[in-house]
Chains A and B, each alone.
Chain A
Amino acid sequence: MTALEALRPDGQVVVEMAEPDDFEAWRERARALVQGGVPPERVSWIEAGASGSLFAAAGGLSVPDVRAPWVRASRRFVELAESAILHSDPHRFALLYRLLWRLQDTPRLLDDPADRDVRRIGELVRSVRRDMHKMRAFVRFRAAVEPDGCERFVAWFEPEHHILRANAGFFVRRFAGMRWSILTPRGSLHWDGDVLAEGPPAQRADAPGGDPAEELWRRYYASIFNPARLKVGAMLKEMPRKYWKNMPETALIPGSWRAHRRGRARWSKPVQSSSVSGRRASRASTRRFTPAAAARSACSTTAR
């Protein structure tokens, strides 16, 4: 019998996680609990700041017995758990502990795709991976001037999960030479060229409201808009509406979409008569844009 069970023979064990995305802390606690033989039903995991189970007794972390057996987990489970713990689902700690507990008896549990817990951890990992990917694509920096006269690029982003710290490495490598800050409702990151600092949660008003360069970008996006290639379903799949409010260029989408629909309505009407000049113009444009002609002109340019 271990110390933990001796302490609380039938009560719940409450584990409070100080950080919502701290895998190492979860690992330490989960290892101690498995070694203590505490089944998943008796453990309640709560995040810092959240209210715990009503009837649970707050239990301290027991020191694991030295003679306790090793806790086994496959490398694949550790990789999945590192990613899944970033999810915003409040039950993720319990799910991971349940999986770890079951892995002790069935080491090949993760190979069973029909298992409810295995499927759930796969969903969490996919959702976190997608959110990280979208954050890399949709963070929009705006220039601000610091008190010392230097430029700092500040972005406001609302991630779905606790991915800010996990994604920091990407932004440090990508924008190593710039000073930047990423503000989110869950926390903020500040890079000054050498040191990455973490800050408290921020609000949208803390980020600058606009940037002169955004007008250029908007004009660029308006000019490359090709109505013949408008695929609304594909666009919404890759760029869901929940990200739109923090991206300056998305303000253009409804307008160009409407213009496209108006244009299509005009074109689908039967053509009554066509002027000679119109026909000539269309023929000229066809000639100009044939691939062969384009290739020829490209060759002549290189030859010259």
Chain B
Amino acid sequence: MLLRVPGLGVRAVDSVVASRRHRRLRLDDVARLTGSIARVRPFIVAADWRPTLLTDRADLRALLAPRSEQLELFAA
């Protein structure tokens, strides 16, 4: 299930699973294991974090999804 969270890759998930054997993770622990905590935050629950209003925002996708960009066709 962790692998389906946007922003958590294979390496981050491996680290999260390994760390959970020792203790409950806090949000800054997860931040240390991932590239960008801002992308992960709405989808996880940590010992000191609960995404109360963030998950139900209508513009969540606009906040998190990378902007689409038209590539240049004839770039050198």
B30 and A114 contact, CB distance less than 8 A: yes
Give 1 or 0 for each of A99-123: 1 = CB within 8 Å of chain B CB. 0000000101101111110010000
Interface of B is mostly: helix
- Judged by a CB distance under 8 angstroms, whether A268 is at the interface is yes
Is B71 at the interface (CB under 8 A from chain A)? no
User: How many Å lie between the Cα of A112 and that of B25 in the bound state?
Assistant: 11
Q: Are B32 and A119 in contact (CB under 8 A)?
A: yes
Please determine whether A111 and B76 come into contact, CB atoms closer than 8 angstroms: no
The total of interchain contacts (Cβ-Cβ below 8 angstroms) comes to 28
* CB proximity to A under 8 Å, residues B16-55: 16, 18-19, 21-23, 25, 29-30, 32-33
By the criterion CB–CB under 8 Å, are A114 and B76 in contact? no
Instruction: Contact check, B76 vs A113: say whether CB atoms are below 8 A apart.
Output: no
Compute how far the CA of A49 lies from the CA of B38 in the bound complex, rounded to whole angstroms: 44
Bound-complex Cα distance A268 to B18 (A): 53
Check B23 against A112 for contact (C-beta < 8 Å): yes
**A108-B22, A112-B18 known; A264 and B76 CB under 8 Å?**
yes
A114 engages B21 (CB within 8 Å): no
What's the nearest-Cβ distance from chain B to residue A298, in Å? 35
When distances are taken between beta carbons in the complex, the residues of chain B under 8 Å from A119 are: 32
Complex interface: chain B residues within 8 A of A112 (CB): 18-19, 21-23
What residues make up the interface of B, taking CB atoms closer than 8 Å to A? 15-16, 18-19, 21-23, 25, 29-30, 32-33, 76
A12 to B40, CA, bound (A): 42
List 7 A-B pairs, Cβ < 8 Å: A111-B21, A112-B18, A112-B19, A112-B22, A113-B15, A113-B19, A119-B32
Residues of A within 8 A of B (CB): 106, 108-109, 111-116, 119, 264, 268
Q: Please name the residue on chain B nearest to A111 by beta carbon.
A: B18
Query: Which chain A residue has the least Cβ–Cβ distance from B33?
Result: A114
CA distance A111 to B29 in the complex (A): 14
Alpha-carbon gap, A201 to B9, bound state (A):
46
In whole angstroms, how far apart are the Cα atoms of A109 and B33 in the complex?
16
Shortest CB distance B72–A (Å): 13
Asked if B33 and A268 sit within 8 Å, CB to CB, the answer is: no
Q: A106-B22, A112-B23, A113-B33 provided; 8 other pairs, C-beta below 8 A? A: A113-B15, A113-B19, A114-B16, A114-B29, A114-B30, A114-B32, A119-B32, A268-B76
A300 to B35, CA, bound (A): 56
Report the nearest B residue to A112, measured CB to CB. Answer: B22
B17: nearest residue on chain A (CB-CB)? A113
Nearest B residue to A116, CB-CB:
B32
**Chain B nearest CB, measured from A121 CB (Å):** 14
Which of A111, A113, A264 is most buried by chain B, counting CB atoms within 10 A of its CB?
Answer: A113
Specify which chain B residues have a CB less than 8 angstroms from the CB of A109 in the assembled complex: 22
A119→B30 CA distance, assembly (Å): 12
CB distance from A116 to the nearest CB of B (A): 7
Residues of chain A lying within 8 A (CB to CB) of residue B33: 113-114
Cβ-closest chain A residue relative to B15: A113
Once the chains are docked, how many angstroms separate the CA of A214 from the CA of B18?
51
**When A and B form their complex, which 9 residue pairs have the shortest distance between CB atoms, in order from nearest?**
A114-B19, A114-B29, A113-B15, A112-B22, A112-B19, A268-B76, A114-B33, A113-B18, A113-B19
A147 to B15, CA, bound (A): 59
